[in-house]
Structure 1
Amino acid sequence: MPDTAAVRVVTDSTACLPAPDGAAHADLWDGLGHGPLVVPLHVVTQDGTLREGVDVSPQDVAARIAGGERLTTSQPATAELSDAYRELVADGARSVVSVHLSGELSGTFAAAERAGHRAMIPVRAVDSRTAAMALGFAAVEAARCAAAGCDTEHVARRAREVAGSAEAVFLVDSLEHLRRGGRLSAPAAALGTALGVRPILGVRDGHVELVQRVRTRRAAVSRLVTIAVERARRATRPAVAVHHLGAPERAAEVADVLADRLGLQPVVTPVSAVLGAHVGPGALAVMVVDRGGHVHDLEPGGPW
């Protein structure tokens, strides 16, 4: 039998993965011996640089922004990713697939490539071209392949396949955070706020883009749900997530509607602290991927 720990998966904290020890998301982790190892990104505050999920939470970010503080973010240092790879080597890994936030939005993927060149074992860095649980689902599905004994190429291909199927759409109360952080162009931001419309945004081919404009927030939330339902119904085996920053009741309502219309239970988590610094309080997002009819075809020749 193959060594199920031979290939291990790393991702970053913008994947918004829920805790594996909670009953609410047990299906996500079912049968998964080794989940992805998560490396934190950083939120830069007036108190210093904080690691998300360790030193700062999404709730902290929402409160700081509401209090008028301007936040910036930064990728993990190459050394932090190198430390993660070394940790997995010590745990018996013989190769790593490192799956990260879109390289158009962050330097994390590039840092993973640099760290991989210095690693003691082969490291395959994957640019997901997406974010949040669209990235998280890709990392988990890749880890599931690794746990089944698949080789590095198979695991990396699975991450790209799931991430490439993603529909990632979201609403924000203000486009200013995205514009100021350079994640949305000034013309797109101006277009999105023209005439009092509510913009629906999406992550498309790694970039944040204006998808559609509607007149009211209620209509925008309805359209967000419709986009997600249409994508999920085209999928062979959909997985859905709902994210928010400081709006848990609104996220729960959207998740209930999606559950009723699709017959599946979405993952519901706050958006990560780093993503929250760019979308601002009140943000609401829906992520859909297609897990497909995937088969763990075990290829001969070892885990490399």
Structure 2
Amino acid sequence: MSVAVVTDSTAYLPADLAQRHHLTVVPLTVLVDGVERREGLDLTPTEVARALTVRRSAVSTSRPAPEQFAETYRRLLGTGSSGVVSVHLSAGLSGTVAAAELAARQTGPDRVAVVDSGSTGMGLGFPALAAATVAAGGGDLAEVSAAATAAAARTRTFFYVDTLEHLRRGGRITAASALLGTALAVKPILHVQDGHIVLRDKVRTAARALAKLVDLACLAAGDASRVDVAVHHLDDPDRAAALCAELTSRLGDRLQDVHVAQIGAVVTAHAGPGLLSVVVHRRAGS
């Protein structure tokens, strides 16, 4: 049988897309006032946003346990998969990759390969999909792993948040950057660089933030002849639709697939309300 591809819940892949590509998704955990709940199964991002802003609850996240990955790998290998490629969110943002690597060593490093996508959201989802496509075509463990790594290198993630305070509290961005983001009420535009969240730009209004996201996405697309785009939002489908419409207009015939997905509970716990994100994937050979 073919190589199985595993990812985690922070890929925020539309459910039908994950099913169609036979991806196995391992959930991360969100703790709200000490109560553990699994992302995508027991907790919605709207509930997390409410806990952060209305209830002022203690909210934190945790990686899957290594044994959870090990059980998943053993099950897939035991049902006939020739190997497993496990693609996850950046090691600079979470211990998920470390847990997966430990499980891989326990299960069999010759049969399980772990890939750090260096990002999250569809910055993780696109590499997982690339791996699944090569696996479906009969690729071996090395080829499927290489496909994920190459797709990650061709993917860029940009996002806007109303405030950097939640990212600062969770240690995902420095206090100095948070200070820059709040100075003179500017709106921060961030991107994921070398696996870490970095302040990319500052604008004055939310409307200008949307326009800046479009500009950055087009810049990331460069001269690629074929690009895929994902837009993430938090309970703001109208703003996501406006962003998609502008990207479609600007990228024209080069735009292949467009995915719109609500951001999940884990990223909401760290980014807070108001998030809007665009992810650009340049297709191989374009």
Which of the five TM-score ranges fits, normalised by the shorter chain?
A: over 0.9
Q: Which residue of 2 aligns with 1:143?
A: 132
Residue identity matched to 2:14: P
Q: Structure 2 regions of 5+ residues with no counterpart? A: none
2:7 corresponds to which residue? 11
The answer on whether the counterparts of 1:258 and 1:266 sit within 8 Å (CA) in structure 2 is no
Pick from 21, 33, 41 the counterpart of residue 46 of structure 1: 33
RMSD over equivalenced CA pairs, Å: 1.7
TM-score, length-scaled by structure 2: 0.93
TM-score, structure 1 normalization: 0.88
- Structure 2 Cα separation of the partners of residues 280 and 266 of structure 1: 24
One-letter code of the match for 2:89? L
- Residue 134 of structure 1 deviates from its aligned partner by 1.2
> Where do 1:183-202 residues align within 5 Å?
183-202=172-191
| Correspondences of 1:1-304 after superposition (within 5 Å) | 3=1, 5=2, 7-20=3-16, 34-46=21-33, 48-67=35-54, 68-120=56-108, 122-263=111-252, 264=255, 265-293=257-285
Q: Partner letter of residue 49 of structure 1?
A: E
Check conservation: 1:166, 1:290, Cα contact below 8 A: yes
| 8 Å CA contact 2:159, 2:275 repeated in 1 | yes
Per the alignment, in what secondary structure is the counterpart of residue 172 of structure 2?
A: coil
User: How much does 1:166 deviate?
Assistant: 1.5
CA contact (8 A) 1:17 1:136 kept: yes
SS of aligned partner of 2:15: coil
Q: CA deviation at 1:63?
A: 2.4
Q: Report the number of matched residues.
A: 281
Runs of 4+ deviating beyond 4 Å: none
Gaps of 5+ in 1: 21-27, 295-304
CA distance in 1, matches of 2:222, 2:234: 27
Q: Check conservation: 1:59, 1:246, Cα contact below 8 A.
A: yes
- The CA deviation at 1:167 is 1.4
Deviation string 1:28-80 (CA, Å, 9 cap, x unpaired) is 67xx9642211000101126111101111222222222322231101001111
* 8 Å contact kept, 2:163–2:188: no
Q: Which amino acid aligns with 1:285?
A: S
